Amino acid sequence: MKLSEQFQVLRRAARYTFSVNRKYTILLIMSAFLSSIVGYVPIYFSAKVIDSLIAKAPVETVILYVALTVGIVFAVNLTNTYISSEKSAASSAMWRNEDWSYSEKAMQMAYGSIEDPEVTRLRYRIRRESQTGHNLYYLYQHIEQFAGQVTKITASTALTVSFFALPSVPVCFKLAIVAGLAITLMFQLYATKKTNALDRDFMALSVDMNIIAEHFLSYIEHYGAGKDIRLYDMGEFVGGSYLALDQDYWERGLKNSYIKAAWALPVAMLNTVLKFGIYAVLICAALQGGITTGSIARYVACIMMLAENLLSAAKTIQSAFDNNHYLKRYFSYFDIPNNMYQGSLTVEKRDDAEYYVEFRNVSFRYPNTDSYALRNIDLRFRIGEKLAIVGMNGSGKTTFIKLLCRLYDPTEGEILLNGVNIQKYDYDEYMSIFSVVFQDFSLFAFQLGEIVASSRSFDEDRVRSCLIKANFGSRLDEMPEGVHTYLYKGYDRSGMEISGGEAQKIAIARAYMGERDVLIFDEPSAALDPIAERELFERIRQENQGKTVIMISHRVAFARMADRILVVDDGRIQDEGSKEEMLPKLFPEDCG
Ligand code: ADP
């Protein structure tokens, strides 16, 4: 990464820390400053005390210096204790805000991005890298460390600068200290750069490895796989493949540790040589005279601190630059554009409910794929019609619904509502016409009523009537808390478990709740037995007179109540017609 880009990421990181929690960042810097400066108080005053004692100054002067040392250290420590407790409270708020901004982004991004495997991978990678401390944790750590190091460098320089001005100390001594520092600093920077690059490569490998490991482990541990593993004697095959991969990964990690240790050794040696050198130079300078005894103690402590903190600050900068590689990826998640949902037109409210939807030569390819999921779809239907879509798995039926609901925009062609491209409508306005039950719906473990109403507050009677309409009435009567019963155990441990078919009915009730003009069901009876399915279709027919119902279903029972049947195959509308025309073709046995 170029230096200019490094600073760009750092600037953004600084802005981000302030947006996540300004108070935490400020307290972190203040606390680092106070805990660093406190160490210099005794160094400064003990030099004064030693010199006063040697100069046989009045005892009050000595007592004053001692009292000042104790008083200032006490005051600084007290303030810092208060700041630290505030800081730790702010830290919880900061992590909560960070988590939330990450989740908020997931909810706000276009649906296409959520389904995009590249985005899934990016999210996984960022999570994994954050778990190992990269991104925000290291960023705050670097801010804290750097604030402390800058404080110490400034204080050490202020207390040492007089050493470099001393005429009694030969220039070669002073140059030796500066040169030793510069060499050690450069070597350490070089070594850190090398080992950080090594760590980054290993981290990338570790993300890949973790994805594979999770896949292996979830398969091995899932009870469903237990049967296959035993029946087909797959233990050695599956377990062995996993262990072989893990062995490679482990060996690579070990090799990395050796390389890092090999770099750490000369760095540590050079550091030690530097410290010895500084001691030697200072002792020689003291022997030459011209420095007070108190000042020698102060110079020794301060030059050592200066050297140590210059080296640590260099290391912090290097680590921060390294973390910038991760932060860049972290921010790229927030930068995923959302070009959907930008329309602003309101949907015309018509008393005669005369709406029609038109697909005009629509073709669609999922992002990052080569083949078309839908091709040249031309279709027009009026609100009020009952439409059945049939076709083999993978023929494009669900994709058709996703385009209709603007989860994706067509790659080619356009979809129109009353002659206007649906992209031009305000998204929420447009979606207010539709209620959709996808096959892969998901219910959160809230109260039944909350789930159906999609809200924490709900009208109990309306929820109950929607559940009854969705054929969930008899099950509702058995529920101990009625519409206040929690589902599943995720939120409340007394929550009730429900079957796949029951969940499907609740999802249908949720769709009814909105009282929308168009109801879309994607295989709503997939988890239902034949009797429940017949009842459900009959209910749908009775309850939705005058509304559009679009249903993806292979069942003859629904096809019978549809006005129109579309047959989709390989992304194209293969055939279409009225139920009278289509039923004999599709279900000859049932019509014969
Ligand atoms: P159906 O509902 O008829 O079973 P879909 O509309 O779900 O079929 O899928 C149509 C085609 O699009 C299939 O080839 C499927 O693999 C592909 N597809 C579906 N969803 C995605 C996706 N998120 N990314 C890439 N391809 C997809």
| DSSP assignments along 194-215, one per residue | HHHHHHHHHHHHHHHHHHHHHH
- Whether 592 shows a pLDDT value over 60: the answer reads no
Please choose, from the candidates 366, 500, 397, the residue with its C-alpha nearest in 3D space to the C-alpha of residue 442.
500
Interval 63-121: pLDDT, tens: 999 999 999 999 999 999 999 999 999 999 999 999 898 889 988 888 888 888 889 88
Q: Does residue 116 line the site of ligand 1, with CB under 6 A? A: no
Which pLDDT band, with edges at 50, 70 and 90, does 493 fall under? confident
Three state DSSP letters for 266-320: HHHHHHHHHHHHHHHHHHHHHHCCCCCHHHHHHHHHHHHHHHHHHHHHHHHHHHH
User: Is residue 113 in contact with ligand 1, taking CB distance under 6 Å?
Assistant: no
Task: Report the number of secondary-structure helices (H) and strands (E) in the chain.
Answer: 20, 10
Segment 430-446, tens digit of pLDDT: 888 888 888 888 888 88
Q: Which residue is closest in CA terms to ligand 1's atom 12? A: 373
- Residue 315 scores a pLDDT above 60: yes
Tell me: pLDDT of 353 over 70: no
* Closest alpha carbon to 44 in 301, 291, 298: 298
Which 8-state DSSP code applies to residue 495? P
Of 247, 304, 243, 314, the C-alpha closest to 277 is 304
Give the residue, out of 119, 120, 364, 366, with the most ligand 1 atoms within 8 A of its beta carbon, to mutate for a pocket test.
Answer: 366
Atom of ligand 1 nearest to the CA of 439: 2
Cα gap 296→287, rounded to integer Å: 11
The DSSP element (H or E) to which 551 belongs, if any, is strand 548-552
Burial of 233 (0-12, 13-18, 19+ CB in 10 A): exposed
In the predicted model, is pLDDT for residue 150 greater than 90? yes
Residue 394, ligand 1, Cβ within 6 A: yes
Structure tokens belonging to residue 130: 């954050």
Nearest-5° angle of CA 295, CA 296, CA 297? 90
What's the pLDDT at 29? Answer: 96
Q: Report the C-alpha gap between 449 and 459 in whole angstroms.
A: 8
User: Looking at the predicted structure, is the pLDDT value of residue 44 above 60?
Assistant: yes
**Ligand 1 centroid vs 221 CA: distance in angstroms?**
28
Q: How confident is the model at residue 250 (pLDDT cuts 50, 70, 90)?
A: confident
Which atom from ligand 1 is nearest to the alpha carbon of 395? Answer: 3
- 257-262-264 Cα angle (round to 5): 90
Is the pLDDT score of 591 beyond 60?
no
**pLDDT tops 70 at residue 495:** yes
Sorting pLDDT into bands at 50, 70 and 90, what band is 351? low
**Residue with more model confidence, 390 or 223:** 390
Does ligand 1 come within 6 angstroms of the Cβ of 134? no
Tell whether ligand 1 has an atom less than 6 A from the beta carbon of residue 393: yes
Which comes out higher in pLDDT, residue 403 or 546? 403
* Tokens 């406190």 -> residue: 38
Flag whether pLDDT at 2 surpasses 70. yes
**Average pLDDT estimate for 361-381:** 93
Q: How far apart are CA 479 and CA 485, in angstroms?
A: 7
pLDDT at residue 60, rounded to an integer: 93
Residue 391, ligand 1, Cβ within 6 A? yes
Calculate the dihedral angle through the C-alpha atoms of 397, 398, 401, 402, rounding to the nearest 10 degrees.
Answer: -140
Residue 89 host element (H or E) = helix 59-108
507-541 residue pLDDT tens: 999 999 888 888 898 887 776 777 777 777 777 87
Which tens digit of pLDDT belongs to each residue from 552-587? 877 777 777 788 999 999 999 999 998 888 888 877
pLDDT band, residue 207 (cuts 50/70/90): confident
Confidence of residue 197 (pLDDT cuts 50, 70, 90): confident
pTM of the complete model: 0.75
Does 553 contact ligand 1 (Cβ within 6 A)? no
> Of all protein residues, whose CA lies closest to atom 8 belonging to ligand 1?
394
Does residue 283 contact residue 157 with C-beta atoms inside 8 Å?
A: no
Q: Is 402 in the pocket of ligand 1 (CB under 6 A)?
A: no
For position 350, what pLDDT does the model report? 63
With a 6 Å cutoff on the Cβ, whether 235 touches ligand 1 is no
Percent of the chain with pLDDT strictly greater than 70: 97
Report, as an integer, the average pLDDT of 40-53: 92
Q: 366 CB under 6 A from ligand 1?
A: yes
Segment 216-245 mean pLDDT = 76
pLDDT greater than 60 at residue 27: yes
In angstroms, how far is CA 473 from the centroid of its own chain?
A: 40
pLDDT recorded at residue 548: 83
